[in-house]
Amino acid sequence: MNVPLAVLCWIAISTLLGIFFGYSSLELTTSTSIVALLLGLILAGVPLFLQRGKMRLQAPDRRQFVAFAISIFFLVFAVREFGQVIFVAKDEVRVISPNNLGDICLHLTQINYLASAPHFWPENPIFAFDKLRYPIGRFSRPETLSAEQRRQAISAIEEAPQRLRAAILGLSEEQLDTPYRSAGWTVRQLVHHMPDSHLNAYTRLKLALTEDEPALRGYDEKRWAELPEARTAPVDVSLDLLDALHGRWVLTLRALKPEDWQRKMKHAEMGPITVDTLIALYAWHGRHHTAHINGLRQREGWL
Ligand code: NI
Protein backbone atom coordinates (compact mmCIF):
# COMPACT_ATOMS: atom_id res chain seq x y z
CA MET A 1 0.00 0.00 0.00
CA ASN A 2 1.43 3.37 -0.94
CA VAL A 3 1.01 6.76 0.70
CA PRO A 4 -1.52 8.36 -1.73
CA LEU A 5 -3.75 5.26 -1.42
CA ALA A 6 -3.48 5.44 2.38
CA VAL A 7 -4.55 9.13 2.29
CA LEU A 8 -7.57 8.25 0.11
CA CYS A 9 -8.49 5.43 2.54
CA TRP A 10 -8.16 7.88 5.45
CA ILE A 11 -10.62 10.31 3.79
CA ALA A 12 -13.06 7.51 2.87
CA ILE A 13 -13.01 5.80 6.30
CA SER A 14 -13.33 9.12 8.17
CA THR A 15 -16.27 10.15 5.98
CA LEU A 16 -18.06 6.84 6.61
CA LEU A 17 -17.44 7.13 10.36
CA GLY A 18 -18.72 10.74 10.26
CA ILE A 19 -21.94 9.61 8.56
CA PHE A 20 -22.28 6.78 11.10
CA PHE A 21 -21.89 9.24 14.01
CA GLY A 22 -24.33 11.65 12.36
CA TYR A 23 -27.06 9.01 12.21
CA SER A 24 -26.30 7.52 15.65
CA SER A 25 -27.31 9.03 18.97
CA LEU A 26 -23.73 10.35 19.34
CA GLU A 27 -24.41 12.86 16.51
CA LEU A 28 -21.85 14.67 14.40
CA THR A 29 -20.15 17.13 16.76
CA THR A 30 -16.63 18.60 16.89
CA SER A 31 -15.46 15.79 19.19
CA THR A 32 -17.03 12.95 17.14
CA SER A 33 -15.55 14.53 13.97
CA ILE A 34 -12.09 14.46 15.57
CA VAL A 35 -12.64 10.83 16.66
CA ALA A 36 -13.72 9.96 13.06
CA LEU A 37 -10.59 11.62 11.63
CA LEU A 38 -8.26 9.94 14.15
CA LEU A 39 -9.86 6.50 13.77
CA GLY A 40 -9.68 6.88 9.97
CA LEU A 41 -6.01 7.82 10.23
CA ILE A 42 -5.22 4.82 12.43
CA LEU A 43 -7.16 2.34 10.25
CA ALA A 44 -5.67 3.67 7.01
CA GLY A 45 -2.20 3.92 8.54
CA VAL A 46 -2.04 0.34 9.91
CA PRO A 47 -1.24 -1.34 6.53
CA LEU A 48 1.51 1.27 5.91
CA PHE A 49 2.95 0.67 9.35
CA LEU A 50 2.96 -3.11 8.82
CA GLN A 51 4.79 -2.65 5.51
CA ARG A 52 7.44 -0.33 6.90
CA GLY A 53 10.17 -3.01 6.76
CA LYS A 54 9.57 -3.65 3.07
CA MET A 55 9.57 0.01 2.05
CA ARG A 56 12.83 1.63 1.12
CA LEU A 57 13.02 5.39 0.83
CA GLN A 58 14.73 6.50 -2.34
CA ALA A 59 15.80 9.99 -3.30
CA PRO A 60 13.26 11.34 -5.84
CA ASP A 61 14.47 11.67 -9.40
CA ARG A 62 14.09 14.95 -11.29
CA ARG A 63 10.69 14.09 -12.81
CA GLN A 64 9.17 13.13 -9.45
CA PHE A 65 10.54 16.31 -7.92
CA VAL A 66 8.87 18.49 -10.61
CA ALA A 67 5.52 16.63 -10.15
CA PHE A 68 5.75 17.12 -6.39
CA ALA A 69 6.44 20.87 -6.76
CA ILE A 70 3.47 21.29 -9.17
CA SER A 71 1.20 19.41 -6.72
CA ILE A 72 2.19 21.69 -3.84
CA PHE A 73 1.60 24.78 -6.00
CA PHE A 74 -1.85 23.50 -7.05
CA LEU A 75 -2.75 22.64 -3.44
CA VAL A 76 -1.86 26.13 -2.18
CA PHE A 77 -3.84 27.66 -5.06
CA ALA A 78 -6.88 25.43 -4.39
CA VAL A 79 -6.90 26.09 -0.64
CA ARG A 80 -6.63 29.86 -1.26
CA GLU A 81 -9.52 29.81 -3.79
CA PHE A 82 -11.73 27.68 -1.55
CA GLY A 83 -10.88 29.95 1.40
CA GLN A 84 -12.28 32.87 -0.55
CA VAL A 85 -15.61 31.34 -1.55
CA ILE A 86 -16.27 29.21 1.55
CA PHE A 87 -15.80 31.03 4.82
CA VAL A 88 -16.88 30.82 8.44
CA ALA A 89 -18.94 33.68 9.88
CA LYS A 90 -20.29 33.55 13.43
CA ASP A 91 -19.90 29.75 13.69
CA GLU A 92 -21.69 29.23 10.39
CA VAL A 93 -20.14 27.94 7.17
CA ARG A 94 -21.13 30.26 4.31
CA VAL A 95 -20.61 30.32 0.58
CA ILE A 96 -20.00 33.65 -1.20
CA SER A 97 -22.32 32.94 -4.12
CA PRO A 98 -24.59 29.92 -4.42
CA ASN A 99 -23.81 29.86 -8.16
CA ASN A 100 -20.07 29.76 -7.67
CA LEU A 101 -19.47 26.15 -6.85
CA GLY A 102 -22.20 24.12 -8.46
CA ASP A 103 -23.91 21.92 -5.90
CA ILE A 104 -21.47 22.61 -3.05
CA CYS A 105 -24.27 24.54 -1.26
CA LEU A 106 -26.45 21.42 -1.39
CA HIS A 107 -23.65 19.32 0.11
CA LEU A 108 -23.04 21.88 2.87
CA THR A 109 -26.78 21.90 3.65
CA GLN A 110 -26.81 18.12 3.86
CA ILE A 111 -23.76 18.08 6.15
CA ASN A 112 -25.50 20.70 8.29
CA TYR A 113 -28.63 18.57 8.50
CA LEU A 114 -26.53 15.58 9.47
CA ALA A 115 -24.63 17.56 12.10
CA SER A 116 -27.65 19.25 13.68
CA ALA A 117 -31.30 18.24 13.94
CA PRO A 118 -33.55 17.91 12.02
CA HIS A 119 -32.08 14.76 10.48
CA PHE A 120 -32.91 13.50 7.03
CA TRP A 121 -36.15 11.67 7.73
CA PRO A 122 -38.92 12.03 8.86
CA GLU A 123 -38.39 15.34 10.70
CA ASN A 124 -36.77 17.19 7.82
CA PRO A 125 -39.40 19.19 5.87
CA ILE A 126 -37.65 18.26 2.60
CA PHE A 127 -39.17 14.82 3.11
CA ALA A 128 -42.77 16.02 3.67
CA PHE A 129 -43.99 13.51 1.08
CA ASP A 130 -42.67 10.65 3.21
CA LYS A 131 -44.44 12.17 6.20
CA LEU A 132 -47.75 11.94 4.32
CA ARG A 133 -47.07 8.37 3.35
CA TYR A 134 -45.65 7.24 6.71
CA PRO A 135 -47.36 9.52 9.25
CA ILE A 136 -46.29 7.41 12.26
CA GLY A 137 -42.91 6.46 10.72
CA ARG A 138 -41.90 3.32 8.88
CA PHE A 139 -42.23 -0.07 10.58
CA SER A 140 -39.08 -0.96 12.48
CA ARG A 141 -38.81 -4.69 12.80
CA PRO A 142 -38.23 -6.32 16.21
CA GLU A 143 -37.28 -10.03 16.43
CA THR A 144 -38.62 -10.42 19.98
CA LEU A 145 -40.94 -8.37 22.19
CA SER A 146 -41.00 -7.97 25.97
CA ALA A 147 -44.17 -9.03 27.82
CA GLU A 148 -45.15 -5.36 28.08
CA GLN A 149 -44.56 -4.74 24.36
CA ARG A 150 -46.71 -7.79 23.53
CA ARG A 151 -49.48 -6.50 25.77
CA GLN A 152 -49.33 -3.12 24.00
CA ALA A 153 -49.30 -4.71 20.53
CA ILE A 154 -52.35 -6.88 21.35
CA SER A 155 -54.18 -3.83 22.76
CA ALA A 156 -53.39 -1.91 19.56
CA ILE A 157 -54.83 -4.77 17.48
CA GLU A 158 -57.88 -4.94 19.78
CA GLU A 159 -58.54 -1.20 19.47
CA ALA A 160 -57.86 -0.91 15.73
CA PRO A 161 -61.49 -1.43 14.49
CA GLN A 162 -62.96 1.17 16.83
CA ARG A 163 -60.14 3.64 16.04
CA LEU A 164 -60.87 3.19 12.33
CA ARG A 165 -64.60 3.76 12.95
CA ALA A 166 -63.78 6.94 14.87
CA ALA A 167 -61.47 8.12 12.07
CA ILE A 168 -64.22 8.00 9.42
CA LEU A 169 -67.10 9.08 11.67
CA GLY A 170 -69.37 11.60 9.94
CA LEU A 171 -67.54 11.59 6.57
CA SER A 172 -69.75 12.05 3.49
CA GLU A 173 -69.65 9.67 0.51
CA GLU A 174 -67.63 12.29 -1.38
CA GLN A 175 -65.13 12.61 1.45
CA LEU A 176 -64.81 8.80 1.61
CA ASP A 177 -63.86 8.85 -2.07
CA THR A 178 -61.04 11.40 -1.53
CA PRO A 179 -57.44 10.12 -1.81
CA TYR A 180 -55.50 10.60 1.44
CA ARG A 181 -52.55 11.93 -0.64
CA SER A 182 -52.10 12.60 -4.34
CA ALA A 183 -52.01 9.27 -6.21
CA GLY A 184 -52.79 7.48 -2.94
CA TRP A 185 -55.75 5.28 -1.99
CA THR A 186 -59.11 6.87 -1.18
CA VAL A 187 -60.40 6.70 2.39
CA ARG A 188 -62.83 4.00 1.22
CA GLN A 189 -59.99 1.93 -0.27
CA LEU A 190 -58.03 2.33 2.98
CA VAL A 191 -60.98 1.03 4.99
CA HIS A 192 -61.44 -1.99 2.71
CA HIS A 193 -57.67 -2.61 2.68
CA MET A 194 -57.64 -3.15 6.45
CA PRO A 195 -59.62 -6.44 6.49
CA ASP A 196 -57.88 -7.49 3.23
CA SER A 197 -54.56 -7.22 5.00
CA HIS A 198 -55.63 -8.41 8.43
CA LEU A 199 -57.44 -11.51 7.12
CA ASN A 200 -54.07 -12.49 5.64
CA ALA A 201 -52.35 -11.69 8.96
CA TYR A 202 -54.82 -13.83 10.91
CA THR A 203 -54.31 -16.74 8.49
CA ARG A 204 -50.53 -16.33 8.76
CA LEU A 205 -50.71 -16.49 12.55
CA LYS A 206 -52.79 -19.68 12.42
CA LEU A 207 -50.37 -21.25 9.92
CA ALA A 208 -47.37 -20.36 12.11
CA LEU A 209 -49.06 -21.92 15.16
CA THR A 210 -50.01 -25.16 13.46
CA GLU A 211 -47.23 -25.83 10.93
CA ASP A 212 -43.46 -25.98 11.08
CA GLU A 213 -42.04 -22.74 9.60
CA PRO A 214 -44.75 -22.40 6.93
CA ALA A 215 -43.95 -20.44 3.77
CA LEU A 216 -46.40 -17.55 3.60
CA ARG A 217 -47.92 -16.68 0.30
CA GLY A 218 -47.81 -12.99 -0.55
CA TYR A 219 -50.68 -11.15 -2.22
CA ASP A 220 -50.82 -8.10 -4.45
CA GLU A 221 -52.42 -5.57 -2.08
CA LYS A 222 -52.48 -2.83 -4.74
CA ARG A 223 -54.52 -4.96 -7.14
CA TRP A 224 -56.82 -6.13 -4.34
CA ALA A 225 -57.52 -2.46 -3.57
CA GLU A 226 -58.32 -1.78 -7.24
CA LEU A 227 -61.00 -4.51 -7.51
CA PRO A 228 -64.47 -2.98 -8.06
CA GLU A 229 -65.91 -3.71 -4.61
CA ALA A 230 -62.76 -2.37 -2.86
CA ARG A 231 -63.27 0.97 -4.63
CA THR A 232 -67.05 1.27 -4.25
CA ALA A 233 -68.55 -0.91 -1.47
CA PRO A 234 -70.11 0.75 1.60
CA VAL A 235 -67.49 1.06 4.37
CA ASP A 236 -69.74 -0.55 6.99
CA VAL A 237 -69.24 -3.98 5.39
CA SER A 238 -65.50 -3.83 6.11
CA LEU A 239 -65.91 -2.24 9.54
CA ASP A 240 -68.20 -5.10 10.63
CA LEU A 241 -65.82 -7.65 9.13
CA LEU A 242 -62.92 -6.03 11.00
CA ASP A 243 -64.82 -6.09 14.33
CA ALA A 244 -65.44 -9.83 14.09
CA LEU A 245 -61.98 -10.63 12.74
CA HIS A 246 -60.07 -8.66 15.40
CA GLY A 247 -62.29 -10.15 18.14
CA ARG A 248 -61.25 -13.67 17.09
CA TRP A 249 -57.61 -12.63 16.43
CA VAL A 250 -57.19 -11.14 19.91
CA LEU A 251 -58.73 -14.28 21.52
CA THR A 252 -56.10 -16.34 19.68
CA LEU A 253 -53.24 -14.04 20.73
CA ARG A 254 -54.25 -13.93 24.40
CA ALA A 255 -54.30 -17.74 24.52
CA LEU A 256 -50.72 -18.16 23.19
CA LYS A 257 -48.17 -20.10 25.26
CA PRO A 258 -44.82 -18.35 26.02
CA GLU A 259 -42.92 -20.51 23.50
CA ASP A 260 -45.41 -19.67 20.70
CA TRP A 261 -44.12 -16.10 20.34
CA GLN A 262 -40.88 -17.31 18.81
CA ARG A 263 -42.51 -19.67 16.30
CA LYS A 264 -41.27 -18.88 12.83
CA MET A 265 -42.74 -18.45 9.36
CA LYS A 266 -41.20 -17.49 6.03
CA HIS A 267 -42.60 -14.17 4.85
CA ALA A 268 -42.55 -13.54 1.08
CA GLU A 269 -40.84 -10.12 1.37
CA MET A 270 -39.41 -10.02 4.90
CA GLY A 271 -37.81 -13.49 5.00
CA PRO A 272 -38.08 -15.60 8.19
CA ILE A 273 -40.10 -13.81 10.88
CA THR A 274 -41.41 -14.69 14.35
CA VAL A 275 -44.96 -14.39 15.76
CA ASP A 276 -43.59 -11.44 17.80
CA THR A 277 -42.55 -9.65 14.59
CA LEU A 278 -45.93 -10.44 13.00
CA ILE A 279 -48.01 -8.86 15.77
CA ALA A 280 -45.67 -5.83 15.99
CA LEU A 281 -46.14 -5.38 12.23
CA TYR A 282 -49.94 -5.47 12.38
CA ALA A 283 -50.17 -3.32 15.51
CA TRP A 284 -48.21 -0.75 13.47
CA HIS A 285 -50.25 -1.38 10.32
CA GLY A 286 -53.62 -0.47 11.89
CA ARG A 287 -52.24 2.75 13.38
CA HIS A 288 -50.44 3.57 10.10
CA HIS A 289 -53.62 3.57 7.96
CA THR A 290 -55.82 5.19 10.60
CA ALA A 291 -53.23 8.01 10.78
CA HIS A 292 -53.59 8.44 6.97
CA ILE A 293 -57.30 9.21 7.44
CA ASN A 294 -56.82 11.39 10.53
CA GLY A 295 -54.06 13.32 8.73
CA LEU A 296 -56.34 13.95 5.71
CA ARG A 297 -59.18 15.15 8.01
CA GLN A 298 -56.81 17.52 9.72
CA ARG A 299 -55.38 18.95 6.48
CA GLU A 300 -58.84 19.34 4.93
CA GLY A 301 -60.38 20.72 8.13
CA TRP A 302 -62.98 17.89 8.30
CA LEU A 303 -63.08 17.90 12.08
NI1 NI B 1 -51.36 -1.52 4.36
- pLDDT interval class at 133 (50, 70, 90): confident
At 268 the pLDDT is: 81
Q: What gap in Å lies between CA 92 and CA 113, rounded to an integer?
A: 13
At 116 the pLDDT is: 66
- pLDDT interval class at 137 (50, 70, 90): confident
What percentage of residues in the chain have a pLDDT greater than 90? 55
Domain ranges in the chain with CATH number 1.20.120.450: 147-300
Ligand 1 midpoint to CA 33 (Å): 40
Ligand 1 midpoint to CA 23 (Å): 28
Ligand 1 midpoint to CA 27 (Å): 33
On the question of pLDDT at 81 being above 80, the answer is no
Ligand 1 midpoint to CA 279 (Å): 14
Ligand 1 midpoint to CA 240 (Å): 18
At 297 the pLDDT is: 95
Ligand 1 midpoint to CA 238 (Å): 14
Ligand 1 midpoint to CA 285 (Å): 6
Ligand 1 midpoint to CA 203 (Å): 16
Ligand 1 midpoint to CA 220 (Å): 11
Which of 30-39, 116-125, 258-267 is the least confident region?
Answer: 116-125
Ligand 1 midpoint to CA 198 (Å): 9
At 270 the pLDDT is: 84
Ligand 1 midpoint to CA 288 (Å): 8
Task: For residues 194-211, give the mean pLDDT.
Answer: 97
Ligand 1 midpoint to CA 43 (Å): 45
- pTM of the predicted protein model: 0.61
Task: For residues 124-141, give the mean pLDDT.
Answer: 77
Please enumerate, as own/partner, the contacts of 112-116 that have beta carbons within 8 Å and a separation of 24 or more: 114/18, 114/19, 114/22, 114/23, 114/28, 115/22, 115/27, 115/28, 115/29
CATH architecture of 147-300: Up-down Bundle (1.20)
Ligand 1 midpoint to CA 11 (Å): 42
Q: Which residues of 237-270 are buried (b: 16+ CB within 10 A; e: fewer)?
A: ebbebbbebbeebbeebeebeeebbebebebeee
Average pLDDT, the chain: 87
Ligand 1 midpoint to CA 196 (Å): 9
On the question of pLDDT at 105 being above 60, the answer is yes
